[in-house]
Amino acid sequence: MRVLVGGGTGFVGVALTQLLRSRGHEVTHVSRHPGPDRISWDELSRSGLPPCDAAVNLAGENVLNPLRRWDDAFRRVVVTSRVETTKTLAKAIAEAERPLRAWVLVTGVGYYRPSPTAEYTEESPGGDFDFFSRLVSAWEAAAKIPGDGTRQAVVRSGVVLGKGGGAISQMLWPFRLGLGGPVGSGLQPFPWIHVRDVAGVVCHALETEGVHGVLNGVSPASSGTSNADFARELASALGRPALLPLPGWAVRGVFGSERAVMLLEGQRVAPKRTLESGYCFVYPDLPSALQDIVS
């Protein structure tokens, strides 16, 4: 298949591109920056889809960039980098001469209301209680194309763990120094997935006839993982203690209260439809995922 990937140069995109190419697919990126095997968002808007059989969108400004103040201007960039790129791709797909085989969007588990007790599947309600849940609703709505000529799927991803990027890249150095620990109370659920698996779920959705709708992109063990469990397992994988909690006030100070919710609260999410659709996780449990990352 020839697969067009928006935002495919990022952390998840690199893993997805590698996986797709290893499975014999051709990959073209839609990017803000020129380069080989890339087209720009402007080209896509002006000229429509290049020859391709499937599309994915991973584009989005990094929400947890600690160097960006959580103000209206940054909120707008966070929203438009996701919703407008998704609209551009969806419009090009809807206007293509022949329907694509599949169109996959990656969003987030921020769709579900944070809770220490509730457990969510893909059928659970959400999407309308705070900034992030409304963002996911608008993002997923932007992806909808009329008709059923193209299979459409959405992967709601948890925190993506992997080598060389994502949330863990900022945590590794304090943990390596023995200065790591849980965030806030540590009791909040920690919905996670290994980067190889989020790429795997997207690839599965692209390749597998009959897979459509929402798939939760979290590991099967994720619904039983708290932030403190994660801190303990990461410290143990590094052979270090994890005694120093990062207080909630410090997190709120750096990220702002609205954004700090992503770190201080969490959702218990199960990948029910993902497993039922036949996806086999490469890293179903935290110790194996972390061993791979710290090795």
Ligand X SMILES: NC(=O)c1ccc[n+]([C@@H]2O[C@H](COP(=O)([O-])OP(=O)(O)OC[C@H]3O[C@@H](n4cnc5c(N)ncnc54)[C@H](OP(=O)(O)O)[C@@H]3O)[C@@H](O)[C@H]2O)c1
User: Where do contacts with ligand X occur on this chain (CB under 6 A)?
Assistant: 7, 9-13, 31-33, 58-62, 77, 81-82, 85, 106, 108, 157, 159-160, 166-167
Cβ–Cβ < 8 Å for 171, 234: yes
**Could you tell me the smallest distance in angstroms from the CB atom of residue 4 to ligand X?**
13
**Could you tell me the smallest distance in angstroms from the CB atom of residue 246 to ligand X?**
18
Give the residue with the Cβ less far from ligand X, 100 or 154.
154
Cβ–Cβ < 8 Å for 205, 104: yes
Distances from the Cα of 215 to the Cαs of 7, 154, 219, in angstroms?
Answer: 20, 6, 12
**Could you tell me the smallest distance in angstroms from the CB atom of residue 2 to ligand X?**
18
Give the residue with the Cβ less far from ligand X, 121 or 169.
169
Question: For the chain, first and last CA: distance in Å?
Answer: 33
Q: Which of 197, 205, 1 is nearest to 103 (CA)?
A: 205
C-beta nearest to ligand X: residue: 10
**Could you tell me the smallest distance in angstroms from the CB atom of residue 11 to ligand X?**
4
**Could you tell me the smallest distance in angstroms from the CB atom of residue 217 to ligand X?**
8
Give the residue with the Cβ less far from ligand X, 13 or 180.
13
Distances from the Cα of 238 to the Cαs of 100, 183, 190, 283, in angstroms?
Answer: 45, 18, 19, 18
Give the residue with the Cβ less far from ligand X, 49 or 106.
106
Give the residue with the Cβ less far from ligand X, 62 or 115.
62
- Tell me the CB-side half-sphere exposure of residue 246, using CA atoms within 13 A: 20
Give the residue with the Cβ less far from ligand X, 77 or 244.
77
Q: Where are the beta strands (DSSP E) in 185-289?
A: 192-194, 213-217, 268-269
DSSP state of 6: E
**Could you tell me the smallest distance in angstroms from the CB atom of residue 239 to ligand X?**
25
Give the span between the Cα atoms of 204 and 71, in whole angstroms: 37
User: In this structure, are strands 38-40 and 119-120 parallel, antiparallel, or unpaired?
Assistant: unpaired
